[in-house]
Amino acid sequence: MSQKDGESYKVLATLLDTIEFPEVIKIIEKFEDGKYSILPFLTQVQSTSETISPFNLTRCCRISTLILPNCQTLSDNVLMLLPYLESLTIRSGCPLSSDVFRHLNYLTKLQILSHREDEPDTLVSLQSLEYLTRLEMLHIRNSVLKDEYFFHLRNLKVLILDGNDNVTPAILNYLPKIEICILNKKLYKYISSTKNNAILKKIGKVNRVKIYAVENNTKM
């Protein structure tokens, strides 16, 4: 592959970043060795399908954003071959283990979407939070987390947590950089910005709760 071809493929990959991944594959199959010459330049992969080809996905070795809200076939082995991931959106119940976060050293955004209230996230736990210290955004439905678990997430700016009766407004004491905190559809902290306004608009209706003071009685 010549330098000129490489630049052309890079430009094409930029255009393909916003297209559903199955359609991307159809397009690059028209190019000779497209899976090997174009996929490595993709920076974002998104698909609403329930399945995805692990062979094609692992060719996208430089992607920073992976959006698979319905996929049921994503595995640890595949994610471990995508070391530059910064943003990951998956569905609860997909066959991953919490240990996979040990290998995602650049992850700053994690969304685990539950399609039903009886399908909570089981990946994020006290142990996995120890691997997620770079997180700036976390959006999950999880019933096992507690206030003190968030001590590890000192860089967190956005927290959207549903289905949890253990976490209280005292969690704000553990999150020095937090800008949006929504617990069970209640908004406890919000700092207005263009980015945060877009996040809040996408989430939809929440109940705003004004917090005057939060006392931390937890012994560190």
Among the listed residues 217, 97, 203, 99, the one whose alpha carbon sits nearest the alpha carbon of residue 160: 203
Name the residue with higher pLDDT: 212 or 93. 93
Q: What domains are there in the chain, each with its CATH number?
A: 43-208 (3.80.10.10)
Q: What is the pLDDT of residues 123-166, one digit of tens each?
A: 999 999 999 999 999 999 999 999 999 999 999 999 999 999 99
Q: What is the pLDDT of residues 42-100, one digit of tens each?
A: 999 999 999 999 999 999 999 999 999 999 999 999 999 998 999 999 999 899 999 99
Name the residue with higher pLDDT: 41 or 208. 41
Q: How confident is the model at residue 213 (pLDDT cuts 50, 70, 90)?
A: very low
Q: What is the pLDDT of residues 92-113, one digit of tens each?
A: 989 999 999 999 999 999 999 9
Instruction: Please provide residue 160's backbone torsions phi and psi, each rounded to the nearest 5 degrees.
Output: -125, 110
Among the listed residues 13, 60, 54, the one whose alpha carbon sits nearest the alpha carbon of residue 40: 60
Instruction: Please provide residue 166's backbone torsions phi and psi, each rounded to the nearest 5 degrees.
Output: -85, -30
Secondary structure (DSSP) of 166-204:
S--GGGGGG-TT-SEEEETTEEEEE---HHHHHHHHHH-
Whether 172 shows a pLDDT value over 70: the answer reads yes
pLDDT of residue 104: 95
Secondary structure (DSSP) of 106-152:
T--EEEEE-SSTT----S--HHHHTT-TT-SEEEEE-SS--GGGGGG
